[in-house]
Amino acid sequence: MKYILVLAFYFFSSTIFAQKPCEYATNVNDSIGTYKSTKEYLIHEKVFAGNFNYIFYSLALTDGLPTLTLQIIQKSKDFVKANCFDKNSKMYLQLQNGKIVTLIHIDQESCGTMLRDDKGFDNRVKSGIFMFSKENYEDLKISPVTLMRIKYLTDTEDYILKKEFTAELDGKVYHPETYFIDNIRCIE
């Protein structure tokens, strides 16, 4: 009987703590260097009054340098405000353990691209690449992220990250709080 309980505990714990395999959008290793990037992952979704806002993360490793790519897609029939990234832009991640991790934007200005679709919606798509600082990097592996603050060229926006949500975009379940816990190992 004791053997069966130990076996059941082992099976249960290995199932619960098993990590899913890394999914890469790109994984290249050639004479120029190495580059791997995880698939985009929906972190935030806001659908309200005909306005749609989506935020995606993907992690990349370029010749040993880990970065986070942030992509924001805004869709509206009203004017879509342009928040630009510049060399002073930063991303602050507040962790559940109380610490704050700061990511620094690369030295490249970007205000995104505006596209009008066939249904009369204006779509602004902007991407920013952020570098991890050495301090608190390890904390991302063990503590969930509860709040994300993005400092743009002229504005600052806060986003509360949910533990779990089912996206209206694709009907999938996402876990934004534990994104780094689940995925940062994929670029190490």
Which pLDDT tens digit goes with each residue over 163-182? 999 999 899 999 999 999 99
Query: Is residue 11 in a domain?
Result: no
- Per the structure, the count of domains in the chain is 1
Mean pLDDT, rounded, for 70-95: 91
- Rounded to the nearest integer, the mean pLDDT of the chain is 87
Is pLDDT at 71 greater than 90 in this prediction? yes
pLDDT grade for 8, boundaries at 50, 70 and 90: very low
- Asked if residues 131 and 106 have their Cβ atoms less than 8 Å apart, the reply is yes
Residue whose pair of structure tokens reads 């993360």 in the numeric block: 57
For the record, the structure tokens of 141 come out as: 């592996």
Give the DSSP H/E element, type plus range, for residue 175: none
Give the DSSP H/E element, type plus range, for residue 147: strand 145-151
SS3 8: helix
Query: Is residue 13 in a domain?
Result: no
Give the up-direction half-sphere exposure of residue 101: CA atoms within 13 A in the CB hemisphere: 26
- Asked if residues 23 and 11 have their Cβ atoms less than 8 Å apart, the reply is no
For the record, the structure tokens of 46 come out as: 């806001």
Query: Is residue 142 in a domain?
Result: yes
Q: What is the CA radius of gyration of the chain?
A: 19
Q: For 131-153, give one letter per residue: b (16+ CB within 10 A) or e.
A: ebeeebeebbeebbbbebebbbb
Give the up-direction half-sphere exposure of residue 5: CA atoms within 13 A in the CB hemisphere: 2
Query: Is residue 157 in a domain?
Result: yes
User: Alpha helix locations (H) across the chain?
Assistant: 2-16, 179-183
For the record, the structure tokens of 135 come out as: 């301090």
Mean pLDDT, rounded, for 43-60: 94
Query: Is residue 51 in a domain?
Result: yes
pLDDT grade for 15, boundaries at 50, 70 and 90: very low
pLDDT grade for 18, boundaries at 50, 70 and 90: low
Query: Is residue 94 in a domain?
Result: yes
Which residue range forms the structural domain that includes residue 29?
22-187
Which residues are CB-contacts of 174 (< 8 A; sequence separation ≥ 6)? 41, 42, 43, 164, 165, 166, 167
pLDDT in tens, 117-137: 888 888 999 999 999 988 778
pTM, rounded to two decimals: 0.84
Query: Is residue 82 in a domain?
Result: yes
pLDDT grade for 10, boundaries at 50, 70 and 90: very low
Distance CA 188, CA 185 (A): 5
Which residues are CB-contacts of 161 (< 8 A; sequence separation ≥ 6)? 43, 44, 144, 145, 146, 147, 148, 176, 177
